[in-house]
Structure 1
Amino acid sequence: MTPRTTAVGGLATEVHPPRGGGPFPAVLIRTPYDRRQHRPEARGWARRGFAAVLQDVRGRCASPGRWQPYRNEEADGAATVRWIRRQPWSDGRVLAAGGSYAAHCALVLALEAPGGARPDAVLAAVPALGAAETAREPSGVERLLSRAGWWAAHGDRPDSDESALDKALAADPALLTHLPLTGLPERLGRSMPSWAGLWRHHDRGHLLARAARAGVPLLAVGGHHDHFTEDTAALWRAWGGPSARLLLGPWGHGLLSAPGPDARPAHRVGLGDLYARWARRALAGELTPGRNGALALGGADLWLPAGTGGEPRLQPTRLLHGSHFTADPGRPVRSDDLDVPTDKPPDRCLLVTAPLPRPLDVVGPVHVGLRATAHTPSADWFARLVALTPQGTAERLAVGVVRRGEPAGRETEFTIVLGTLARRLAAGTRLRLEIAGHHFPAHARNPHTGDDPMNAARLVASRREVDPVSVKLRLDVLPARPTPTDPAEEILR
C-alpha cells in the first residue's frame, strides 16, 4: 500500500501499512540515516503484517530542529509511541527496532521512556549503546578512525556525506596525525561543535545498568567482526526482561551485507523472516523466559547455542623479535596493515605459535598475560592476534588494549583481553601475537606524556621491554566437536 507521510511532534514520519483493514502491530524505526533509505525494510515488514513507521530523528534529513547525537531520542521516541497507539490502524502493540544508532533509539525508548510510552519488544542490531561506548574501548582508549568517519559523515549536519572522511584523507593522507585531534573539524573545513564534546563522555555502562530492569523481550543481533560485538553480547547478558535472544554471526557492522572471511553458506540467514517470526512471538508473549540464542562458528558451516564456551588452554609461543622495542608515535603500528617491517628497529614484540596439529574450535574470550616495562608515565599496550594460514595468508583475529600509568621504568604484570572469538582454526595454522604501543588510525596515538590523547600537542617515543617468558596466550577451546543447532530454533523457542 502507499505509505502515508505525516509529522509527529514536528518530525518527518511515514507509515507503511499492510494490506487489509487492520488493526496491526507496529514496528518503529527512528533513524538519523534518512528514513527513505529504510523503505525496502518497511515494505518487508508490511508484507509480513506489520505497520512500519519510519522517522527521521530531530535535526536530520526532513526533520527540523538541532541535531544532537544521543540527546533527544527518549522524549521524541516516547511521543511517537503514544501517537502510534492512538491511530486507528494500530492494535496498540509496538516493536522498537533498528541497527547501530537506530538501535540506540530503540533501546533508550524501552529503558528510559515513561511506562505508557515504552514499546512492547525491542530488536537491536549492532547496537550503539551510547556516546561513551562508541568513542572508547572498555579500557578508555579512544577509537579514532571509526568516530572520525562517523562524525565527518553525519555529525552536526542535517544530511550525510558517507565519503567525507575518505575525500579528506585523499586530499591530506596525514589528516589524522595532525594535533590536537580535537581540531579535526577545522581541518575538514566545517563546524562540528559536538566533536570535542564526544571525548568528554566517560560514562560507559549507562544503558547496560538500566537493561537489568528491562520489562520487554529483546532480540540482539551482531557480528563477530563488528566494533560493537562485545556491547551486543553484554546487552543480551544484562537484559532483565521476560526473554532475551542473541544472534551473532561472522559478519561486520552491515551484518549479512558485510560477511567476514570466515563466513560459510550456513551463515546466510534470512534475517527478515526471522525478525518477523520472532516479533510475532514476542508481541504475543509466546517466547519462553530466559536467555537463548545462536552463535555462528566462523570457518565452519554450523551454529552453536549462545553461551557455548570452551575450556581455557594456553598456547605456547616463542619470541621472533622485539623483546625490546620502541613505541614511536611518529611511526606507529598500523591497524590497517598486517605486514611486519623487518628492515627497521623493532616497533613491536612479535611472538608465534607452532602450527596447529589439528583443527581448533575457539569459542570464548582471548587473554594475553605478560610482564612488561614502559619508560614513560603513560602507555597503551595493544595485543593483536593474527592467523597465519597454511595457504600463506594473514588474517586479524582479535585486538585488545589496556592503558597503564606506572612510574617510568617499573616492570608490571597485567592482562589484555582481546574480546571473544567463535572460530574454527584449520590444522597447520600458526598464531602470531603482536604486542605494541599503538594501533593507528583505528585508535588515537598515546602521547606517552600523561596528556589526554585527543588534546595533546606533543608526542614522545616510549621504550618498552616485554619478558617473553611471561607471555601467556590463553584461548577457550571446545574439548570435542560441537553439537550444532539451528539459529531459528534458538531465537524462536
Structure 2
Amino acid sequence: MARFTRLAGLIADKALGLPTKAVPYEVRKDVAVPMPDGVTLLANHYRPSGHDEPLPVVLVRVPYGRAGAFGQLFAAPLARRGFQVFMQATRGTFGSGGQFRPFTSERDDGLATIEWLRKQPWCDGRIAMAGGSYFGHTQWAVAPYAEPPLTCVMPHITSANMTDRLFYEHGVPQIHTALSWSATIGRQERPGLLSSLPDPRDRARVNRALGRLPLQAVDVQVAGAPVPFWRDFVAHAEPGDTFWSQADHDADYGRMPPVSTVTGWWDLFLAGNLADYTALRAAGVEARLVVGPWIHGEPGELRTVAQTDAVWLEHHLNGGPAPTGKPVRVHLQQASRWLEFDNWPPEDVRETLLHLGRGGRLVTRPEESAEPSRFTYDPADPTPTVGGPLLAPPGKQADNASVEKRDDVLVFTGPALGGDLDVVGPVRATVHVRTSLPYADVFVRLCDVDTKGVSRNVVDGIQRLDPRLSADEPGPDGVRAVHVELFPTAYRFRAGHRLRVQVSGGAFPRYARNMGTPEPFGIATEGVSCDFEVLHDADHPSHVAVHVR
C-alpha cells in the first residue's frame, strides 16, 4: 500500500508540474475540532514523519471531502514537500456535524478552528491557508479577522464579495452557476462509487430545470431533494436583503496577510478576483496575481495553483526565496505569450472609446445625429447566451452567430484592423437607453470577428435596472445612462479582424430572465415584454471603453 501511495504521489506531482519530492508523512484521520455551538468538525492531519517539534500549519477548509481526489490534489502534494497540512471538512459535509448552508458559517467555524490549532502542541502558532473556489472563500471568511494574523493565504479563483460579484452580478441572479453547483453539492455524499464524479447528464438536467417556472423548487429536479443553498439563493435576492452580508468580506483589505492568487480569463470569479487584488495592493498588502487562459478548475489553472502555492509557502513558512518576476503575470490571449506588470490594472495603457454608430457601425467618435436603435426583450423567449465564464464547460469563446441573428440583439461592428490590437485591462460600457418598463436588464458583449466573419465573444457584462436599486433616475426624456462593467481581459485582436459590440436585454440561462415586474425571481411565472431604445448620438454617446496597450 505504501508503494502504491508513493507511486500515486509521483503521478500527481507530474500532473501538477511539481518537482518530484517525497518527504515521508503520516496522516491522522478524523481529527475532531469542537465548535463553540457544540458541533464537531472533522479533519485529516498530514504531518512529516519523524518530527516531534511544533511546525507551522497549512489549513485547508473544504466542503467536497477530506480524502479522495481533493486530498490528493490539495493536501498530499504539500505534505510531500514537508508542510504540515490540516484538511478540514466544513460544517455539514463528509462527517462534520451540523447542516451545510454555504457561506453562512465559515467565519465563525474558521476562526474557532484557527484558535484550536494554535493550542495544539504540534502547531508553532503560524498558520497559512490554501485552496481555491469555495475553499478560497473560506480563507476570505477568516483572514481579515484572525488575531494574531495568519502568516499568508492563497485564495484562488474566488472573491471576497460573493453577493454583487457572483450570486447577483450587478443585481442579476446567476442562476446557471447557482443551480449547477446546487446539483453538485446536493448529490455529492450519496452512496455509490460514482456519486462524486461529474455526470454528463447534469448539464441537460440543469438547462431543462432553468427553462421552467417558477424556479423556487427546481433544485429537486436536479438534485432529487431540496438543497439549502438554492433555497437561500432564491429567497434572499431582493434589494435590501442583508442575508448574504455574511458572505462578503471586502470591508477591510488592509487586515489581510500576504496573498497569492490565481485565476483565469474565463473563470466566473475573475472580476472579483482582480478587484480584490487591486484593493489589496492599494491597502499596502503584499500580493501576487496570475491570470491564465482558463475556465473554472481547468487543469492548467490547477497546475498553476499547485506551483505557486509551493513557492509561496516555502518563502513565508520556511524562509525560502521569494517568488521571482513582477507581481502580476497575465496571459495575452490569441498571442500565446505572457505579460508581466507591477500593478493591475497596468499603467502603460490608454483608454479607447468604441462608439455605437448608425447602421450598426462602431465608430471612433459619437455622431452628431442618429436615430435610436430598437429591440424588444420578451421573457417568454429570453435572449440566449453562448460561451462566457461559466462554472464548467461549455464556456470560453463560442460562435455567436445564433445570438446575433436574433431581433432582440443589436450588433455594432468596427472596420477591419490594420494591425494587431492588444486590449489589456478593465472594459466598461455606457449605454443610453429608454425602456418601456422600469424593470429591465442591459447586457453588453464585446466580440472578435475573424476574417471569415465568425464572431466570438471576448468579454461581457450585465446591469439590472430596478427603481429599488438605482439612484440615478431617468431624465425628463425617459433616458438613462446605464453603466455596465464588463469582465477585464488581456486579448489580442489580430490584424484583419473586427471588433463587435452586442447590446441586448439578457443572457439566459446564465442569468435569470428579467420578467419586467418587481416579483421575486424565484416565484415569478408571468412576464411582460420590454421595449428598448438605445440612443447613440452626440448628446447620448453610447460606447464601450477598452484599454489598449
**TM-score for the superposition, normalised by structure 1:** 0.84
Alignment equivalent of 1:38, drawn from 60, 64, 70: 70
Please state whether the residue corresponding to 2:456 is helix, strand or coil.
strand
Shift of 1:391: 5.4
- Identify which of 303, 310, 313 aligns with 2:339: 303
Which residue of structure 1 aligns with residue 28 of structure 2? 4
CA distance 1:16–1:228, change in 2 (3 Å): same
Gaps of 5+ in 2: 1-24, 35-39, 362-371, 388-398, 467-472
**For the structure 1 residues 138 and 83, does the alpha-carbon distance in structure 2 shift closer, same or farther, using more than 3 Å as the test?**
same
User: Equivalent residue for 1:66?
Assistant: 99
Match of 2:443 in 1: 382
Query: What is aligned with 2:525?
Result: 457
Aligned to 1:485: none
Contact 1:77 1:109 in 2 (8 A): yes
Aligned partners of 2:171 and 2:464 also within 8 Å: yes
Q: How many Å apart are 1:332 and its aligned residue?
A: 1.7
Q: Is the 8 A contact 1:398 1:419 kept in 2?
A: yes
How far the C-alpha of 1:443 sits from its partner, in A, is 0.1
Change (3 A) 1:398 1:56: same
CA distance in 2, matches of 1:158, 1:108: 24
Structure 1 residue identity aligned to 2:116: W
- The structure-2 alpha-carbon separation of the partners of 1:354 and 1:82, relative to structure 1 and needing over 3 Å to count, comes to same
Q: Secondary structure of the equivalent of 1:231?
A: helix
In 2, distance between residues paired with 1:192 and 1:393? 40
Gap runs ≥5 in structure 1: 260-268, 479-493
Q: 1:42 to 1:457 in 2, by over 3 A?
A: same
Aligned residues of 2:386 and 2:400 also touching (Cα < 8 A): no
Deviates more, 1:302-311 or 1:319-328: 319-328
Q: Counterpart of 2:333 in structure 1: which amino acid? A: G
Structure 1 counterpart of 2:98, one-letter code? G
Say whether 1:472 aligns with 2:543. Answer: yes
**1:152 equivalenced with 2:183 (yes/no):** yes
Q: Is the 8 A contact 2:187 2:196 kept in 1?
A: no
1:112-131 matches, cutoff 5 A: 112-113=145-146, 115-116=147-148, 118-129=149-160, 131=162
- Aligned partner (choices 484, 500, 507) of residue 416 of structure 1: 484
The answer to whether residue 227 in structure 2 is matched with residue 196 in structure 1 is no
Aligned residue identity for 1:71: T
In structure 2, C-alpha distance between the alignment counterparts of 1:345 and 1:302, rounded to whole Å: 37
Letter in 2 for 1:230: A
- CA contact 2:145–2:255 (8 Å) conserved in 1: no
Tell me how far apart the structure 2 counterparts of residues 196 and 215 of structure 1 sit (CA, whole Å). 32
Q: Is the deviation greater in 299-308 or in 432-441?
A: 299-308
Aligned counterparts of 2:106 and 2:260: Cα–Cα separation in 1: 20
Q: Which residue of 2 aligns with 1:351?
A: 412
Distance 2:304 2:377 in 1: 46
- Give how far 1:73 is off: 1.7
2:287 corresponding residue in structure 1: 244
- 1:233 matched to 2:299? The reply is no
CA contact (8 A) 2:425 2:547 kept: yes
Instruction: Measure how far apart 1:382 and its partner are.
Output: 0.3
Alignment of 1:81-480 (within 5 A): 81-113=114-146, 115-116=147-148, 118-129=149-160, 131-133=162-164, 135-155=166-186, 167=201, 170=204, 174-188=208-222, 189-199=224-234, 200=236, 207-239=248-280, 240=283, 242-257=285-300, 270-283=304-317, 292-300=327-335, 301-305=337-341, 306-307=343-344, 308-309=346-347, 310-315=349-354, 318=357, 319-320=359-360, 323-336=373-386, 338-341=399-402, 346-390=407-451, 392-405=453-466, 410-469=478-537, 470-478=541-549
Q: Does 1:16 align with 2:46?
A: yes
* Aligned residue identity for 2:277: W
Deviation, structure 1 residue 142 = 0.9
The question of whether the paired residues in 1 share the 8 Å contact of 2:176 and 2:206 is answered with no
Offset at residue 377 of structure 1 (A): 2.1
Question: Which moved further from structure 2: 154-163 or 15-24?
Answer: 154-163
TM superposition shift of 1:91 = 2.9
Q: Does the CA-based 8 Å contact 1:314-1:472 persist in structure 2?
A: yes
Distance 1:53 1:471, change over 3 A: same
Contact 1:168 1:175 in 2 (8 A): no
1:54, CA displacement in angstroms? Answer: 0.9
Query: What is residue 15 of structure 2 aligned with on the other side?
Result: none
Pairwise CA RMSD: 3.1
Shift of 1:17: 1.8
Q: What is the CA–CA distance in structure 1 between the aligned matches of 2:161 and 2:338, rounded to whole Å?
A: 32
Evaluate the alpha carbon distance shift between residue 417 and residue 256 of structure 1 in structure 2; reply closer, same or farther with a 3 A threshold: same
2:8 aligns to what? Answer: none
Conserved 8 A contact 2:516-2:528: yes
Deviations 1:335-373 (A, max 9, x none): 126444599861111111111111111111112223222
**Separation (CA, whole Å) in 1 of partners of 2:218 and 2:528:** 21
The answer to which of 102-111 and 133-142 deviates more is: 133-142
- Measured in 2, the distance between the counterparts of 1:13 and 1:193 equals 23
Distance in 1 of aligned mates of 2:306 and 2:207? 40
State the identity as a percent. Answer: 28
Q: Distance in 1 between matches of 2:435 and 2:278?
A: 36
Q: Is the 8 A contact 1:29 1:98 kept in 2?
A: yes
Amino acid paired to 2:178 = R
Pair 13,345 (structure 1): closer, same or farther in 2 beyond 3 Å: closer
- 1:124–1:152 distance in 2 versus 1, CA, 3 Å: same
In structure 2, distance between residues paired with 1:367 and 1:237? 17
Whole-Å separation in 1 of the counterparts to 2:225 and 2:413: 46
Amino acid at match of 1:3: V
1:365 match: secondary structure: strand
Q: Give the TM-score normalised by structure 2.
A: 0.76
1:237-290 CA distances to partner (integer Å, 9 max, x unpaired)? 22346422222222221154469xxxxxxxxx75433322222323468869xx
**Cα shift at 1:57:** 0.7
Counterpart secondary structure, 1:183: coil
In structure 2, the CA distance between the partners of 1:70 and 1:130, relative to structure 1 (3 Å rule), is farther
Q: Structure 1 stretch 388-397 or stretch 279-288: which is displaced more?
A: 279-288
- The structural deviation recorded for 1:109 is 1.8
